[in-house]
Each structure stands twice: as C-alpha cells, then as structure tokens.
Amino acid sequence: MKYIPTDLRHNWELGRREGLSDQTEADFLIRRKLIQSSLAAVKEMRQLGVKLMTGTDSTAPNVFPGFGLHEDLFYMVQARLTPTQALQAATSNPAEFLGRSAEQGTITPGKRADLVLLDANPLDDIRSTEKIHAVILNGKVLDRGELDALLLKAEHFAAAH
C-alpha cells in the first residue's frame, strides 16, 4: 500500500467500507466459492489448450501494478498450472499474442534481453518470482540497490499524492 498514492488509497478504503457495510457471512462464502470456481475454470481452459496470459486491471481497487503479476502467477499455480506454464503466461504467451515472438518472450540469441534475475528458482516455488536480485531492462542492469531506490522514490511519490 505504501506505493499507492494517498488519494487513491483513500478512495479504495471508502469503496471497501461501503462494499462491506452490509455483507453477511453468506456473501463471503459466495466470494470464496467464486474464487474456487474461477481457479477451476482456469485449470479447465488450460487443459483444453487455451493459451493463458497474466495481467491485471491496475485501476481496480487493491490491485497493485507490478506486484499483481506475482499474485497472478501464484493463482495460476493454485489453478493447477505448472510453474513453467504460469511463467509462460507472463512471457512467451503475451509475446505470441502481440505478434512479437521473434523479438521477445523467450531467452534466445537476437531477442530483446529484458530479464528478471531471481535469488531462488520459481520452478520450485512460484513465489520465488518475488525474490528479485536484479533486472536487465533495455540492456541496462538494475541491481537490488537500484531497484530499492526506485521503490523508495515510488513510496515518496505516493506519500506526497
């Protein structure tokens, strides 16, 4: 939440209070069932050969740009996709959908080298995607210190707005 501008956090909180003010235990049960049904639908789509992509609507309340991708990957594994299939939903599948497979989406000589370097293997635990050691973006290496500085800058911006 510290990276979300104060005004937006305030709007989210108002919406949450209004949305929860008249909710019953039955309403929460329905929400839990909806999540399970959604996960089952994702699993079935994958089994039927549907190519899936990660992505979130960053204007939705409590969906955090960047951080939401890690949640998407986690939920895809909860829906019984393998970690490899979940990672493909964030890399090669979107590149294919956008007609950009020749330039991006996989680590291949001649392709754009935008990479996230991790401190742990996401194939062992998909949550390891959150253990970011460095990022290579447009050929520039951003180490953990530089990434932390960017996060601090985002935090200061959010606090001021």
Residue 57 has pLDDT above 80, yes or no: no
Dump pLDDT digits (tens) for 93-126: 999 999 999 999 999 998 988 999 999 999 999 9
When pLDDT is averaged across residues 30-45 and rounded to a whole number, the result is: 94
Residue 49 has pLDDT above 80, yes or no: yes
Give the mean pLDDT of the chain. 92
pLDDT at residue 63, rounded to an integer: 81
Rounded distance, CA 99 to CA 31, Å? 36
Rounded distance, CA 13 to CA 125, Å? 32
Residue 58 has pLDDT above 70, yes or no: no
* Residue 36: both structure tokens together: 């399970």
Helix (H, G, I), strand (E, B) or coil at 63: coil
pLDDT at residue 65, rounded to an integer: 78
Q: Rounded to two decimals, what is the model's pTM? A: 0.86
Domain segments of the chain as ranges = 6-160
pLDDT at residue 18, rounded to an integer: 84
Confidence band of 46 (pLDDT split at 50, 70, 90): very high
Give the dihedral sign, CA 100/70/5/151: negative
pLDDT at residue 39, rounded to an integer: 94
Residue 139 has pLDDT above 90, yes or no: no
When pLDDT is averaged across residues 26-31 and rounded to a whole number, the result is: 90
Rounded distance, CA 71 to CA 88, Å? 15
